[in-house]
Copies of this chain bind each other. A is one copy, B any other.
Amino acid sequence: MNIESASFPATDLATAAELAAQLRVDSVRSSTSAGSGHPSSSMSAADLLAVLMSRHLRYDWDRPHNAANDHLIYSKGHASPLAYSVFKAAGVVSDEELLTGYRRFGERLQGHPTPVLPWVDVATGSLGQGLPDGVGVALAGKYLDKSPYRVWVLCGDSEFAEGSVWEALDKAAYYGLTNLITIVDVNRLGQRGETELAWDMDAYARRVEAFGAQAIVIDGHDLGQIDDAMVQARKAGEGKPVVILARTIKAKGFSKAADSPDWHGKPFPKDMADEAIAELGGERHLKIRGPLPEVVSTVRPAAAATDWDHVKYQVGDEVATRKAYGEALVAVGTRDARVVALDAEVGNSTHADLFAKAFPERFFEMFIAEQQLIAAATGLSVRGYKAFASTFAAFLTRAHDFIRMGAVSGVDLRLVGSHVGVEIGADGPSQMALEDIAMMRAVHGSTVLYPSDGTSTVALVDAMADRSGISYLRTTRGAYPVLYGAGELFPIGGCKVLRSSQDDQVTLVGAGVTLHAALEAADTLLQRGIRARVIDCYSVKPIDAGTLITAAEETSGRIVVAEDHHPEGGLGSAVTDALTGSGTRTLTIRRLAVTGMPGSGTGAELLAWAGIDAAHIADAAEALVREPVDRASNR
């Protein structure tokens, strides 16, 4: 008797059919009680989930954090009534909560599932993300946890129009993820009518097979077919990830709404709900659980308890921060076995390749698929791994929605974007990140770090490993002098005052390449008889408002901020926000940023063209100091 049969549950298909009816009824009841929600999209998938949760999903409902549990991801997050009805059937959500908590303020049964609920791995609701996330969880299962748990993902058919779904299946096949089982609820109808492929099951199967997965086409309302498909999927006999393509009917079970395009995303009015419940055989309150995992496990790879060797650089040596990232990542990976890395086929540019060489078993190549890059990191984070995901910063914009949803999921993502700004030179604007700080600052709870030298890069990568939420490191292509000696501390939320005197007349703020420019500008200004304070704003969010305010107060409110980024939402914005965020302040702020559309050139040419090099910083600072100030202007 093997593990599978040993744990096979007693629930028979007749009981599963009762459960399916209950899930439909509860989907109707919960959404009608809330006055909003998607009962019809829940009802199409009720049979699928009834069979899955009662007979195949190995899940310890009392121990959602049992590491041996299967994972079930609701990629079609709008089917939240179904998800919550499953939780009721499992006995972890009460009928009362289902009827009074769904979609209500302050409650946990939100419009789309989020990990506020312990049985939910990732937030969904932005379509085409659950499956890519599931790939990450399955990667963890197969390559890191080396655990037999499976990842089940319930998808809608509409979301197969998202390219991210194909990125996911492609990677699932590439990595041989037989532990990933995708169930597609092909109910033919999207929000505003028929989907692109409607019920063309052959077309879905061809695509899925072409991407290297095994397709199993079934009638999604035939419990025997569903069960057979799941048994077959668990065997993964073809050695491929399995996609169960289930032909279903939207609002199945309620004849007035079934297969109608008019009932997307709408609760039934009370009278219709009553009618639906009657047609479905009335309320039921079955408590049904399926098989348990074989073991109770909370095993996670442990962090090494010992100290680790920091990478050390000599002050004055020229080191690219992207290179320092790679070297620091190896050190952090040595210290902590939970650290893993991913890259979008540019590891020899981001220098994630150093980690890949040192720890090939903890590196995942995502090729040029940035959405899947972030989704895989999200899935790895679900399993407790500390995933660093890197690519050119410009191309992280490709994954903006995944980063945003990562914040909703509350996962820890460590993102690294290289080749920022016009500094990169010859490659031109397509490769220049000039929006990334704005994007990353606006992510909920994010941390944005922008080191200027090798030493600070190492310290910040180290800090990121232990940082929760979404953190972002912005690295620079070119090599610049190391500014700090080994052992210098760089707390997140801090900054470094590199030049300072009691007679400072102006404050210069920079980060990355502009910090080096600011230091040179301070020398120039000194020759012109002007003393400038210079601040390395390596922590853009959170930002060291206290030090910036003190500097402003001590330099007559005169601030010059230079950044290799567009003027909106970047470093200058962060500094301005910090200075105006509390109290009343008199300020003269001059912000230098990239306002034109760059072309090719050398980095130096482009920094000068953009007006963010040392000469422009010095001139801007001098102009502030020399100009007559009319501080009474707005009083």
Q: Which residues of A contact B (CB under 8 A)?
A: 34-37, 77, 103-112, 114, 116, 123-128, 158-159, 161-167, 170, 174, 190-192, 195-196, 203, 206-207, 209-212, 345-349, 353, 367-372, 394-395, 397-398, 400-401, 404-405, 407-408, 410, 426-431, 434-435, 438-439, 441-445, 541, 549, 552-553, 556-557, 566-570, 573-574, 576-577, 579-581, 583-589, 591, 597, 599-602, 605-606, 609, 629-631, 633-635
Contact in complex: A605, B105 (CB < 8 Å) = yes
Stoichiometry (number of copies): 2
Given A407-B597, A566-B442, A633-B583, A128:B368 Cβ within 8 A: yes
Contact in complex: B400, A395 (CB < 8 Å) = no
Contact in complex: B404, A435 (CB < 8 Å) = yes
Contact in complex: A123, B435 (CB < 8 Å) = no
Chain B residues with Cβ below 8 Å from A404 are 394, 397, 435
A51 to chain B, nearest CB (A): 27
Complex partner residue of A405 from B430, B444, B552, B581, CB under 8 angstroms: B430
Chain B residues with Cβ below 8 Å from A445 are 597
Given A126-B395, A400-B439, A345:B427 Cβ within 8 A: no
A558 to chain B, nearest CB (A): 9
A633→B408 CA distance, assembly (Å): 39
Complex partner residue of A568 from B191, B398, B442, CB under 8 angstroms: B442
Contact in complex: B163, A369 (CB < 8 Å) = yes
Contact in complex: A345, B191 (CB < 8 Å) = yes
A607→B587 CA distance, assembly (Å): 32
Complex partner residue of A163 from B163, B400, B552, CB under 8 angstroms: B163
Contact in complex: A568, B573 (CB < 8 Å) = yes
Complex partner residue of A635 from B203, B372, B394, B556, CB under 8 angstroms: B556
Contact in complex: B439, A444 (CB < 8 Å) = no
Residue of B nearest to A101 (CB): B600
A-B contact pairs, 27 of them (CB 8 A): A103-B600, A104-B600, A104-B601, A107-B599, A108-B599, A114-B430, A124-B430, A125-B428, A125-B431, A126-B395, A162-B398, A190-B345, A394-B401, A395-B401, A400-B435, A435-B439, A438-B441, A438-B569, A444-B566, A445-B597, A553-B635, A557-B634, A567-B577, A583-B633, A585-B634, A586-B587, A587-B634
A557→B597 CA distance, assembly (Å): 34
Contact in complex: B395, A597 (CB < 8 Å) = no
Chain B residues with Cβ below 8 Å from A348 are 191-192
Contact in complex: A541, B568 (CB < 8 Å) = yes
